[in-house]
Chains A and B, each alone.
Chain A
Amino acid sequence: MRSILALSLLFLACNTLPVGFDQIRTLPETRMVEILPESIDSYGKFVPLGYADYLLLGKDNQYEARILIKFSIKDSCLDSVSSIRLILHPIDSFPLNFLCRPCSTDWSTSAVTWRMADSTGQWLTPGGDYWHFNLGESKLTKESTVVEFNKDYLDTLVRRSYGIIIFPIDTGFTTVTNLTSAKTGPRLVLTFADSKERVYYPVEDAHIVDSSGIRANPYDLLVGSSFAFRTYLWFRLDSIPPEATIARAELIFQPQTLYQRQDTLWLGVHQLTESYGSRGRYALFQENSAAKVAYVPADTDTVVSLEISRLVQNWVSQSDSNPNYGILITAEPEWLKPFRIKLSRSGPASPRLRIQFFLPPEDRFTR
């Protein structure tokens, strides 16, 4: 009996039922506004893909992806090498022929792109500089693929090269594991005359992607991955008073899918921290996305919605410390397998910001 009494009182005390709320005659005013972007732009950019979860290899009429892998091989013991094998572990089961060549220019994982070898230097030839002979060829098919290298080029590979570039031969794309996979990452196995083997693991790897096959209209608003397409939007928020609380702010649009290599496309919204008007495509933005969403392009009517209440709240209520420079819609992350979607500039499918906000409550004397 005592327990029932105690539990009953505890239940009554802890519940959140709306007892007495309807006594408040004047509730805080709630408004809904839909704002169209006042400034729109889009640009494409080669972005470093070195921190992707995998290495992408392949090509078609729009994109081409190559793999770079760098090993640190000691040159003191090369005379007795009897064979060299590169071992790769495919993630996809798509069969793809490829060939390997030694890279002739140094590069870095953090900055390498189709155009840039590192943060300061470009490739002499976009897509990577290499010595024009084949180290080996093979076909990615199974759980692991072994490429037997021509040992005549071992000296060049060790002393005059900066790793290996892997070129796709066939049309199609596949992925292989990278150095972050401890057991199944790429490795180079040197076999010596006494049948002993030495295994070398990559010190750097990356893939680079070209999009020269794309014939995009410069006025198209595109969002894409691998070769990054980003869309810039700026919304005027003057109609929302600074004391408003943003209950919900949704960025909504109906994209048209132009190209995809995966079923689910991930999109993100990043807050710009510099003026796009003065810095253009070089305007800095927050590395962490303000919102991201998985989008399955089932049909053209699919509406994408990104919830950016916190971002809009900061713009509205803390405009001094968080100036509204606009947002970028990007692939999230941009190293995903290539996809490209197009946003409308006008009409019902175009991007818009739907905001529900409410004004501060009245005090006890006026409500």
Chain B
Amino acid sequence: MKKILLTLTLIFTLTPAQSFFNLHGLGEISQPVDAWNAATGNPFALSVANPGTFIDLPQTSLKISLLTIGVIGRQNNFTRALGSVKPGAFYGSVPLPTRTRILLGVDSRFNQDFDIWSESLSDTTYRYHIIGRGGIYSLNAGLAQSFLSHFCIGAQFHQLVGGSRENWHFCTPEGSIATDTIEIDYSAHNLRFGTSARFSIITIATSYDLPLNILARRSKLIHGVTTDSLQTYRVELPSVLTFGLSAGPYHQTRLNLGLELRPWSGAKIINDTNDIRSNYRNTWRGTIGVEYELFPEHPVRLGYSYGDWYCDNKSTGKPITERGVHLGTGIPIAKFGALDIAGEILFRSSLTRPDIILRETAGRLTLTLAYQETWAKRTRRWGY
């Protein structure tokens, strides 16, 4: 088993990309990377990315995650695998007096990694090999305030930065003869508000992201030289609304429900001269998950998610649908915290031509190291 895991990790490390659909829109929306949450379907409103979920926080909490992704794409009887291993996210929350918390974090908003080969072009043996790398990342800082042990509200400022680099290699049987590169730098900032309330075993949570205005500066390097003048785009994304409901623990069982609404059909992409049709759509994503404590402190988690991507498949204008099966567990680490593990299998598909479907099966393995309580122990040892 250990050898198989090692082999899989090695293969995913050697292969260079994540999703065949990432060449559309701004790429795949990155869900908060936290294995605890991922294993129950990744309900956004109940995750640590929602600043309003911190009703209880007696100690400092730090979470760092590693994400391993493998993708198998199938189309026209062709099958191809891609994969990557990378740091997923970091979330930290520090309690202050008067039940206030400071929230810090780094995570990913959009992933733009892909790797695609063309068919032979026309009657020649020339081919394109297009490799996209990059994404949009978020540096987060915020405050949360808990009331009466039943309510919490929070606000978080997000500074979005990132960039992508697409290399279009033009290949012949002798090798790559030319490479055109498209580079895009992204910058934006916005605010997220969140709130939650808990009564008995029921917790409800919601979050709201203000509309996002992303500035994208694009340049092209043709034959290694910047030959195209800079092009600036403004991508206006409407707000995001999420809801979550958690019931439990009840007989060692917790039920999580989540709903995300992205009314993005009104999204705009504006360049220096005119508006470009965004092809974005109004989408929702629903999740359901269950956590069951099979043995004390050894929970088993299971989840299901369903949703469409916010962007069309541009070749047909059809949606990209995604269904996910999620499962995981947590392993307590004495005097430290816990190691949470989540495995997810996502089934994506979209029509790329009237009679041809591109199907993608993505496997994600998330490891989250949760660090807690250490400072409280120090306090006791020093006798303050």
Contact = CB atoms under 8 A, between A and B. Distances in A.
Given A23-B358, A245-B170, A18 B4 contact: no
A101 B194 CA distance: 106
Given A28-B168, A243-B222, A361-B168, A20 B11 contact: no
Interface range for A: 35 or more
A16 interface: yes
A367 B314 CA distance: 9
Most chain B beta carbons < 10 A, residue from A9, A247, A309, A366: A9
Contacts of A242: 227
A19 B78 contact: yes
A13 interface: yes
Interface in B114-171: 114, 116-119, 121-122, 124, 126-130, 164, 166, 168, 170
B78 A358 contact: no
A365 B233 contact: yes
A303 to B, nearest CB: 18
Nearest to A356: B124
Interface in B77-108: 78-83
Contacts of A20: 20-21, 23, 73, 75, 114, 116, 352, 358
B182 interface: yes
Given A9-B81, A361-B168, A22 B3 contact: no
Indicate the size class of the contact surface on chain B.
35 or more
A363 B218 contact: yes
A279 B65 CA distance: 69
A2 B314 contact: no
A19 B223 contact: no
B345 interface: no
B313 interface: yes
A9 B170 contact: no
Contacts of A6: 4, 7, 11
Interface in A313-367: 313, 317-318, 356, 358, 360-361, 363-367
A9 B8 contact: yes
A298 interface: no
Contact of A13 (B15, B170, B269): B15
Contact of A18 (B81, B119, B166, B227): B119
B374 interface: no
Contacts of B14: 13
B216 interface: yes
A15 B80 contact: yes
B30 interface: no
Contacts, number: 156
B164 to A, nearest CB: 8
Given A2-B3, A12-B72, A23-B21, A18 B225 contact: no
A21 B276 contact: no
A273 to B, nearest CB: 21
Contact of A360 (B121, B228, B271, B353): B228
Interface in A238-265: 242-243, 245-248
Contact of A23 (B81, B82, B168, B315): B315
A17 B182 contact: no
Contact of B358 (A19, A248, A361): A19
Contacts of B223: 245, 313, 317-318
B202 interface: no
A23 B218 contact: no
A358 to B, nearest CB: 7
B81 A13 contact: yes
Given A313-B223, A367-B314, A21 B118 contact: yes
Interface in A1-43: 2, 5-6, 9-10, 12-25, 28, 30
Nearest to A248: B124
B189 interface: no
Nearest to B3: A2
A16 B81 contact: no
A309 B3 CA distance: 48
B338 interface: no
B4 A30 contact: no
A257 to B, nearest CB: 31
B11 A365 contact: no
B198 interface: no
A366 B21 CA distance: 16
Interface in B1-43: 3-4, 7-8, 11, 14-15, 20-21, 23-26
Contacts of B180: 28, 245, 360-361
Given A243-B222, A247-B170, A365-B276, A23 B24 contact: yes
Given A16-B129, A22-B315, A364 B222 contact: no
A126 B184 CA distance: 68
B177 interface: yes
A268 to B, nearest CB: 20
Nearest to B313: A23
A24 B23 contact: yes
Most buried by B among A5, A6, A309, A367: A6
Given A20-B116, A247-B170, 17 more contacts: A2-B4, A15-B80, A19-B75, A20-B73, A20-B358, A21-B119, A22-B352, A23-B358, A243-B220, A245-B177, A246-B178, A317-B227, A361-B180, A363-B182, A364-B24, A364-B184, A365-B269
22 contacts: A10-B11, A12-B79, A13-B14, A15-B79, A16-B117, A18-B78, A18-B116, A19-B74, A19-B117, A20-B23, A21-B118, A22-B315, A22-B352, A22-B353, A23-B315, A23-B350, A243-B227, A245-B177, A247-B124, A248-B124, A309-B177, A317-B222
Interface of A: 2, 5-6, 9-10, 12-25, 28, 30, 242-243, 245-248, 309, 313, 317-318, 356, 358, 360-361, 363-367
Interface of B: 3-4, 7-8, 11, 14-15, 20-21, 23-26, 72-76, 78-83, 112, 114, 116-119, 121-122, 124, 126-130, 164, 166, 168, 170, 177-178, 180, 182, 184, 216, 218, 220, 222-223, 225, 227-228, 231, 233, 235, 269, 271, 276, 313-315, 350, 352-353, 356, 358
